[in-house]
Structure 1
Amino acid sequence: MKVKICGITDVFTALQAVECGADALGFVFAESKRKISPAAAREIIDQLPEYVEKIGVFVNERKEMIDEIIAEANLTMIQFHGDETPEFCESFSVPVVKALSINDGEDFEQLADYSNQWFLLDSPSGKYRGGNGTSFNWELLSGRQFTDKKIILAGGLAIDNVEQAIAIACPDMVDVSSGVETDGKKDVAKIKAFIEKAKKNNH
C-alpha cells in the first residue's frame, strides 16, 4: 500500500516521513493552514530521494501559475481539488491527480470524464477543499473496479481506521494530513504509526 503524507511544510518532517516509508509527499499551494511557498517547497524537495512523488496541491489556480510552480518547486505530480475540467487536467506536463468529493455512488461516474490515471476520493467539501479530517462512506468503494484508474483514498484517515479503510476500499494509495497531526502540526510518531498500519498487510 502506497502512502502519501500531505501538507508538508518543513524539511525535518519530510525526511522523517520518507524514512518511515512514505511514497509521496503533498505540498499545498492553495489557501490552507498548511500552505507553503514554491521556494520553501523546493528547499524540501531538493533533499528528497528521487523515488518519492512530490505532489503539488491546487484549487482553481491559473494554468500559468501552476506551470511556474511545477518548475520552481520541481514537482513530479499535481493534485487538483477545485472545479478543474478534464481538458484543463490534460494540459500539463506532469501526471495529474483529480480530487473528487464523494457523497454517493453516482459521484464515481465523474471518473469516466477524465483521461488522467489518478483520482483522489475525498469526503464532501468543508471549509477548505480537502484537509477537513472527515471521511465518506468507504463501503461505496467495496467491490468496485476502476479499469485503468488508480485510486487514492483520503478524508478522515487516521492510525485507528486506516487498516479498516484499506480493507473495505482497496485503494492504490492512502492520503493523510490532519490524521497525523497533534495541535495542527505534523507529528512524526503519528506518521510512523500510520505508515506502519497502512503497509502492515502489504502483499
Structure 2
Amino acid sequence: MKVKICGLTDVRTLCQVAALRPDHIGFVFAPSRRQVTPLEGERLIAHLQTSSAIVPQTVGVFAKAGRDELKQVLDRVPLQAVQLHHVEDTDIYQWIKERWDVQIWSTISITKSRVAPLNQNPYTLKEEATQQLSALDRCSRNVDLLLLDTHDPVHGGGSGKLFAWEVIPAYAAVAHQLQLPLYAAGGLDANNVGDLLSQYSIQGVDVSSGVESNGLKDITKVASFIERVRSYDKLN
C-alpha cells in the first residue's frame, strides 16, 4: 500500500517526513494555505536531494491549471508526477507527456459526503463512475494513476472531508478496466485509514490535513499515519 504525504512547505518538516519513508511527497502549487511558489518548490526538492539518501517520489498538485502555469512550474521544479484537479482541457495530458518526463495523476472529485445518505445501488454507482471517467477514455494512455478525493467547490480537492467510501468499488472496477492504480484521499487520518484499507480495494492513500495540528504538519501524526498503513501491509 502506497502512502503520499501532501502539502509540505518547509525544509525541516520535509526532511522529517522523508525520513519516515512515505512513497510520495506532495507540493501544492494550487491556491491553498499550503501553496508553494515554483522557486520554493525547486529549493525544497534540491535540499531534499542533497540531504536525504532516499527521496520519495515528488508530486506537484495543480487545480484548474492552464498550460502557462504548468510550464512555469515544470520547467523549473524537478517533479516526478503532477496531480491534476478540475481538468477542463483533456488534451493537456498529452501536452504534458510530450514535454516532461512525469507521471500524471488524474483526480476524480466525489460529491457524496461520508455523512450524506447514498441512496444509490451498486449498478447505478458503476454507471456514474463510468460516465465520470468517460472523458479519460481517449487520453487514459497518458494517465498513470487515478485519485478519488472529496469535491471542493473552489479548488476541487483538499477539503479535508471524507467522501462516501461506498462509491470506491465502482471506481475501482473502472480503474481496473483502464489498468490504472486507484488511490483515495479526503479526510483521512491515523484513526480511520485502517477502516478504509480493511474494507476497500485501493492501491494507495493520500493525506494532508489529517496529519496536521493547528494547520501545521505534525510529525507525530505523520509517523502514526504511515505506521498504520504499513501495519496493514504486514497483515495482508
Written as runs of structure 1 = structure 2, the 5 A alignment for 1:139-158 is: 139-142=166-169, 144-145=172-173, 146-147=175-176, 148-158=179-189
Written as runs of structure 1 = structure 2, the 5 A alignment for 1:1-203 is: 1-46=1-46, 47-48=48-49, 52-92=56-96, 93=100, 94-103=102-111, 105=125, 106-114=128-136, 115=140, 116-142=143-169, 144-145=172-173, 146-147=175-176, 148-202=179-233, 203=236
SS in structure 1 of the partner of residue 17 of structure 2: helix
Q: Flag the structure with larger Rg.
A: 2
4+ runs deviating over 3 angstroms = 48-51
The structural deviation recorded for 1:68 is 2.5
SS in structure 2 of the partner of residue 80 of structure 1: strand
Q: Distance in 2 between matches of 1:155 and 1:63?
A: 26
Q: Give the conservation status (yes or no) of the 8 Å contact 2:90–2:135.
A: yes
Q: Work out the number of aligned pairs and report it.
A: 203
Q: Distance in 2 between matches of 1:108 and 1:28?
A: 28
The structural deviation recorded for 1:109 is 3.4
Structure showing the higher helix proportion among its residues: 2
The structural deviation recorded for 1:107 is 3.6
The structural deviation recorded for 1:159 is 0.8
Aligned residues: CA RMSD: 1.9
Partner letter of residue 109 of structure 1? Q
The structural deviation recorded for 1:179 is 0.2
Q: Give the conservation status (yes or no) of the 8 Å contact 1:122–1:155.
A: yes
Partner letter of residue 6 of structure 1? C
The structural deviation recorded for 1:10 is 1.0
Unaligned runs of 5+ in 1: none
Q: Give the conservation status (yes or no) of the 8 Å contact 1:126–1:132.
A: no
